[in-house]
Chain A
Amino acid sequence: MTLIKTKHNRRSFLKVTAASGGGLMLGFSWAMSCTPADKVGEIPLEWFDINAFLSIAQSGKVTIMSPNPEIGQNVKTSMPMVVAEELDVKWEDVIVKQAPLNTDVFERQVAGGSQSLRKGWQALRMAGATAKQMLIEAAAKKWNVDKSTCSASLGVIAGEGGKSVTYGEIASFAAEMQVPDEVKLKDPSEFTLIGTDRGNVDMEGIITGKPLFGLDTYKDGMQFAVVLRPPAFGTKLKSYDDTGAKTVKGVNDVIRFGDKVAVLANSTWAAMKGKKALQAEWDNDENLESTNYHDRELRKLLNTKAEEPKRKDGDVNKGFSQADKIVEKVYEAPFLPHNCLEPMNFYAHVTPEKVDLLGPIQTPERTRRQVAELLGRDQSEIFIGMTRMGGGFGRRLYGDFVLEAAEISKLANSPVKVIFSREDDMTAGTYRPASKYKFKAGLKDGKMIAYHLVGAGVNMGNATREKNFPAGTVANYLVESHNLKSNITTGAWRAPITNFLAYAEQSFFDELAESAGADPVQFRLDLFQQAKDNPVGTVDYDIDKFMGVIKLAAEKANWGNPDAGIFQGFSAYYSHNTYVAEVAEVIMKKDTPVVTKVTCAVDCGIVINPIAAKNQVEGGVVDGVGHAMYGDFSFYNGQPQQNNFHQYRMIRMKEAPKVETHFVKSYNDPTGLGEPALPPAGGAVANAIYKATGQRFYKQPFMKDQIVLG
């Protein structure tokens, strides 16, 4: 067993190896502690590290480390809540700290795929439960009684005969206890903290303007770096003239790296001015792509047979030949920038001894690997601290700005903070790919008997979710996908692929239900019932859960019986292991539709922090509606045509519908929530506007179809 000498005097990481008899067997990367005396000078004497996740002070205060990056999804509050629940302490006694990247003790320090709580659930619970057990064992040892006669609740251990000791009082002994091999987790029905509303742990800092975000990083000797990047995808730097830039007061240096030029200055403003004063010439030996090129190529692909279908059940052509009605529609989506309100930025200080990195990144582990490769350094010399992030939405999965900071720091031999202007952020993006989908369905006697989906996207890989609904519900089913290669950088954007696919599919089903002469909700329920009774091929989603949210949303929104003047639209989607159904309401105001409300039913397993969970749903809906209505981004000769919010319209307060959220009561393990409310939103709204106006939308943003919302 290797002892790891680090700042902490006791670290352990718990891994589930087996479950037995109500308890859980634990394995450890290493189980036993160094002696506290080794490091006694480095930590405040009154704090005792029980494990990697938590330490307890003599006062009874508990510090809980939040392992994952915080992008606004509330993990910095809700992950420590899970530890505190099993530890059984008062939330008021908890101090939360953001953990740095530390792969020795934490797993999956990623903000992505809405998976932080789902994947972290067991480790977080065990961190708390193990510590609780060590505290109880310490008390039992001190009292010289059997541990089974002791119990713990809200930071106090009780023994027989009225004996009592607080966690703080016993913490120093607990830190010396063996880490238990087996630990009992609470039954979810015993939870007292999970399921209660707890405010954001960074609230005070946020509402008083404390430094929390990457852009708030200021260090001694730090230079501010603003970077000139190729103005169009497909271009390379031919030459540049920095004469003007160097005359800007405050500019210290101009450094070329690859096809980019960094201006280093002693203030952000000087660096920005210096960049504007750079003269550069650009070459291109690649295609310079425009939006009309993407449109043309993607449309071609929609009419091409894929080499291999993504999924094939039955025979769609036979199905179509037997149909008495065929519905075929094409849906089109533009590229989208992420537009995190905090533009990309990162701090780096590269020295011969080590590399210090600090800032907003969703993927610190992968980024550390990339920086190590770039600089030719060992990963053990690279340290990444995580700041709160002013939004992520997928953009900060990609560490290009971290690599830039590291490279500039190395070349300048100086600590630097790289700052993207809004224009840099919007034009040097990792965009949601443009995509198109062709849906074709055959109906016979009002029943869907054939379904064919073709997807095509720019650098999208598989543009479909072939295992999703309606797979399993229809005898003849074919899904095909095409990829259009491009030199435009694309990537994950909140609810990748489904952020548009769900809209297209759920709009199409509204139209299909209408063609079948059926109610849109009943039409879906009938399909699910069919899949339940007689599934076609494998069904990867839980039919009961799916039907559950559909029925719940319909019931809560009074589906089918709206008040006079209200038009309803329905949509439901499964993503990130979570089921969401939404009913949008639209009213007509002076001949223009106004989206007033979206009612959501959500099955995401157990809800840890309801007030924050609702916030995620509300935000997902507003995000989904906003981008469906207004989000538009285009290229001309490789150059982004929108570079700031005067050209790129974002949803604003007056356009945001009210959101009413209903969670399915559940004790199942938690599933995703940062993304799943977004995919159904656009479809629900589009279907409601159709009811109100008779107009269908086949393109996002809806603004393109001249729809104006009041």
Chain B
Amino acid sequence: MATFNIQVNGRQQQVDVDPDTPILWVLRDHLQLVGTKYGCGIAQCGACTIHLEGTAVRACSLPVSSVGDKPITTIEGLSEDASHALQEAWREHDVPQCGYCQAGQLMSAASFLKSNPNPTEAEIDAAMEGNLCRCGTYNRIKEAILTAAQNS
């Protein structure tokens, strides 16, 4: 075990875990931040997407030891009052079915929109390729991203 100081959603946190522990399990098991989901463990499904210094990364494949002092944002910290343009758009389009992948979808989309505020559909397809939705809500996710882009 080793002690790590990490910054999550603007707060300094200290955790005592094995250095190879993926940040996904640190968030879920040690910090009670369960919005970040486990789906595959090998960065193939995107359910665990978080932001590291504002960039979307897969938390299942990111050991806590490699985080350092880079700030982490999780779905719980995407906005203070669930008012991010994407969260608003998710409501408007009633996107989820089971809902399990949606935190990861939102985090991928949020990072993407920051770098490309007015994307085309093809650019959204490319940016969201790493996020699986087993229920098949892809069209709604895409429409919601377009709506959020328009509204922000």
* Chain A residues in the interface with B (C-beta under 8 A): 70-74, 197, 199-200, 202-213, 215-216, 218, 224, 249-250, 267-270, 273, 339-343, 388-393, 421-423, 611-612, 615-616, 618-623, 626, 644-646, 650-654, 656, 658-659
Contacts and interface: CB of A to CB of B under 8 A. Distances in A.
B28 A206 contact: no
Contact of B139 (A199, A388, A392, A618): A618
For the complex of A and B, 8 pairs with smallest distance between CB atoms: A209-B35, A622-B136, A390-B100, A72-B98, A209-B75, A654-B125, A72-B97, A645-B44
B132 A652 contact: yes
Nearest to B77: A209
B66 to A, nearest CB: 15
Contacts of B4: none
Contacts of B44: 644-646
Interface in B105-152: 106, 122, 124-126, 128-129, 131-142
Interface of B: 1, 17-18, 21-22, 25, 28-30, 32-42, 44-45, 47, 74-76, 78, 82, 87, 90-91, 94, 96-103, 106, 122, 124-126, 128-129, 131-142
A433 to B, nearest CB: 20
Given A270-B18, A390-B101, A654-B122, 17 more contacts: A72-B96, A200-B99, A206-B103, A207-B75, A207-B96, A209-B75, A215-B34, A249-B18, A268-B28, A342-B37, A611-B94, A619-B135, A645-B45, A646-B42, A652-B129, A656-B138, A658-B139
A202 B32 CA distance: 19
Contacts of B106: 207
Interface centre among B33, B102, B136 (most CB of A within 10 A): B136
Nearest to A392: B98
A337 to B, nearest CB: 11
Contact of B99 (A202, A340, A393, A646): A202
B139 A659 contact: yes
Contact of A211 (B1, B34, B90): B34
Contacts of A658: 139
Given A209-B75, A390-B99, A645 B40 contact: yes
A612 B124 contact: no
Contacts of A622: 136, 138-139
Contacts of B78: 208
Given A208-B87, A390-B99, A653-B141, A269 B18 contact: yes
A267 B25 contact: yes
A259 B115 CA distance: 51
Interface centre among B29, B30, B98, B103 (most CB of A within 10 A): B98
B47 A616 contact: no
A611 B17 CA distance: 44
A653 B1 contact: no
A208 B75 CA distance: 6
A249 B142 CA distance: 43
Contacts of A71: 98
A325 to B, nearest CB: 38
A215 B135 CA distance: 18
B103 A343 contact: no
A656 B76 contact: no
A525 B65 CA distance: 65
A390 B98 contact: yes
B37 A215 contact: yes
B100 A268 contact: no
Contacts of A343: 38-39
B17 A267 contact: yes
27 contacts: A72-B97, A73-B97, A200-B94, A202-B99, A206-B90, A206-B99, A209-B33, A209-B35, A210-B35, A249-B1, A249-B18, A269-B22, A270-B18, A342-B37, A388-B98, A390-B100, A391-B100, A423-B41, A615-B140, A618-B137, A622-B139, A644-B41, A652-B129, A653-B124, A653-B128, A653-B131, A654-B129
Interface centre among A341, A650, A658 (most CB of B within 10 A): A341
B36 to A, nearest CB: 7
A678 B97 CA distance: 15
Contacts of A73: 97
Contacts of A210: 35
A646 B129 CA distance: 13
Would you call the interface of chain B mostly helix, strand, loop, or mixed? loop
A616 B97 contact: yes
Contacts of A616: 97
A620 B25 contact: no
A620 B100 contact: no
Contacts of B126: 654
B96 A203 contact: yes
A49 to B, nearest CB: 29
Contacts of A200: 94, 96, 99
Contact of A653 (B22, B75, B94, B129): B129
B98 A204 contact: no
A273 to B, nearest CB: 8
Contacts of B133: 341, 653
Contact of B132 (A199, A216, A341): A341
A200 B99 CA distance: 10
A620 B75 CA distance: 27
A70 B45 CA distance: 22
Contact of B34 (A74, A209, A224): A209
B100 A342 contact: yes
A390 B39 CA distance: 10
Contact of B36 (A209, A390, A645): A209
A659 B135 CA distance: 14
B138 A206 contact: no
Interface centre among A203, A209, A216, A273 (most CB of B within 10 A): A209
A197 B33 CA distance: 31
Interface centre among B82, B91, B133 (most CB of A within 10 A): B133
A422 B40 contact: yes
A203 B35 contact: no
Contacts of A623: 134-136
A645 B42 contact: yes
Nearest to A422: B40
A224 B29 contact: yes
B91 A620 contact: no
A562 B124 CA distance: 27
Contacts of A341: 37, 39, 45, 47, 98, 100-101, 132-134
A273 B22 CA distance: 12
Contacts of B17: 267, 269
Contacts of B21: 267, 269
A620 B136 contact: yes
A216 B37 CA distance: 9
Given A615-B137, A619-B136, A644 B102 contact: no
B98 to A, nearest CB: 3
A623 B97 CA distance: 13
A208 to B, nearest CB: 5
Contacts of B102: 206-207
Nearest to A70: B98
B32 A218 contact: yes
Nearest to B39: A341
A336 to B, nearest CB: 12
